[in-house]
């Protein structure tokens, strides 16, 4: 792995809020069957989520798998404008629980709207906006 002390995990067991509500416990099972937990302060949770999202760039997409294989199912959303900046946001409620939100500028919101309308109506799709 690296010079950093690592605790290998074989399974994610879940999460819970500590009794004092100061931390989120992320629970894991290790190869020998013992359980460990990371105590993440609430104010660091989104930083950790972003770090995990960035880590996906380090591994190749699963060979032969469609986007559905790694996508999270949603069952609700909210779309609106951020008053302070004028940007737009979309927040998805996840079937498994929780939510993820994304902020975008007006140009991207317009492109997303155009792409979604064309895709849902069966028309030609505009090019995707994926900037590296």
For 91-109, the pLDDT digits (tens) are 999 998 999 999 999 999 9
For 56-87, the pLDDT digits (tens) are 888 877 676 677 777 889 999 999 999 999 99
Q: Considering just the CA atoms, what is the radius of gyration of the chain in Å?
A: 19
pLDDT of residue 105: 96
pLDDT of residue 132: 42
Kind of pairing between the strands at 99-104 and 74-81: unpaired
pLDDT of residue 128: 66
Specify the pTM: 0.72
Q: Is residue 6 domain-shared with residue 40, that is, in the same domain? A: yes
Residue 35: which CATH number?
2.40.50
What's the Cα-to-Cα distance from 67 to each of 50, 73, 89, 108, rounded to whole Å?
19, 11, 22, 21
Residue 24: domain span: 1-60
When the pLDDT of each residue in the chain is averaged and rounded to a whole number, the result is: 88
Q: Is the pLDDT of residue 130 over 70?
A: no
Domain count, the chain: 2
Q: Is residue 77 domain-shared with residue 123, that is, in the same domain? A: yes
Q: Is residue 53 domain-shared with residue 85, that is, in the same domain? A: no
The token pair that represents 55 in the structure block = 């880590």
């Amino acid at each position: 792995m690296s010079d950093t002390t690592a605790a290998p995990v074989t399974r994610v067991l879940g999460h819970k809020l500590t009794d004092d509500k100061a931390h989120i416990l992320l629970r894991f099972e290790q190869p020998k069957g013992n359980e460990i937990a990371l105590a993440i302060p609430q104010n660091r949770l989104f930083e950790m989520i972003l770090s995990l999202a960035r880590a996906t760039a380090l591994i190749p997409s699963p060979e032969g798998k469609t986007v559905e294989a790694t996508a999270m199912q949603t069952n609700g959303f909210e779309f609106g404008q951020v008053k302070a900046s004028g940007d737009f946001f979309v927040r998805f409620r996840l079937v498994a629980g929780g939510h993820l939100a994304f902020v975008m500028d007006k140009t991207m919101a317009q492109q997303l709207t155009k792409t979604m309308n064309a895709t849902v109506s069966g028309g030609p799709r505009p090019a995707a906006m994926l900037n590296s």
